[in-house]
Amino acid sequence: MPASPEFVEKLFSQLAPVYEKVSVAISGGMILHWYDLLFKTLDRIYRIKSRDGKRIEHLDIATGTGLIPLWIWKHWRNKVSVTGIDLTEGMLKIARHRMPDWKFIVGDALNLPFDDNSFDVATVTFGLRNMEDPAKAISEAYRVLRSGGYFLVLEVVPYPNPLLQRLFEMHVGTVSAIAGGILSGNITPYVYFAGSVDSFFTREGFEKACRNAGFRKVGILPMAFGGSILAICQK
């Protein structure tokens, strides 16, 4: 169920002040573990990429409140520069406040305002699922990466096991929609999120979309019994 950019922007503008707390609460804290895996992977990639002494250029797509840049700021700011892009100004305001030296710009992941071959690393965490054309966003990430550059994605995907998928739908459709609604004061986004997972790529479909975009190496790490993935792709 892809939503229009206007709908997504309105949704996240309303959620911005509580977004992080609510995500942790409705995932039962699991989201922190998934971010941690991404950070460990980024750490390894930065160690390799920083060997030539050049500053690493990182693009965080659908950066939101800047959670990924914030980790980079704390651990790698001497060697890495981050640009964050997102549709929603309300989310970016929080990111800019946290990291005033870095660029956080309003823009669309389906039409990135950057030249080809501009970045060494690109990430998108829990953003692709909300986009009208996720395959186009993957192609755009490929285009702006330099040869050898890495593209990392964290996302929720439909469970391969139909029973687990049904349980998950019941959880997000009821418990997490109600909890999200109470914590944020607005149930609409969480009803929308509940419907946005089963229309997204399966794990296999996601891998195919990355290969079709041109990535020569694609590794997918399933997490939470296959209900979420960490994808590591190389151009």
> Closest CB to ligand SAM among 131 and 197?
131
Measured CA to CA in angstroms, residue 217 lies from 49, 121, 152 at distances of 17, 14, 12
Q: Is 180 in the site for ligand SAM (CB under 6 A)?
A: no
Neighbours of 37 (CB within 10 A): 15
What tokens were used for 179? 């909890």
Restricted to residues 194-213, the positions that interact with ligand SAM (CB under 6 A) are none
Q: Is 5 in the site for ligand SAM (CB under 6 A)?
A: yes
> Closest CB to ligand SAM among 4 and 147?
4
Q: Is the dihedral of CA 207, 104, 74, 57 positive or negative?
A: positive
Q: What's the angle, vertex CA 74, arms to CA 229 and CA 148, rounded to 5?
A: 50
Q: Which residues of 205-232 are buried (b: 16+ CB within 10 A; e: fewer)?
A: ebbebbeebebeebebeebbebbbbbbb
Q: Is 139 in the site for ligand SAM (CB under 6 A)?
A: no
Restricted to residues 16-35, the positions that interact with ligand SAM (CB under 6 A) are none
- Note whether 227 and 33 are within 8 A (CB): no
Residue of the chain from 57, 86, 140, 155 that contacts ligand SAM (CB under 6 A)? 86
Residue nearest ligand SAM, CB atom distance: 64
Q: Is 110 in the site for ligand SAM (CB under 6 A)?
A: yes
Residue of the chain from 46, 104, 126, 201 that contacts ligand SAM (CB under 6 A)? 126
Q: Is 67 in the site for ligand SAM (CB under 6 A)?
A: yes
Site residues, ligand SAM (CB under 6 A): 5, 8, 12, 62-64, 67, 86-88, 91, 108-110, 125-127, 130-131
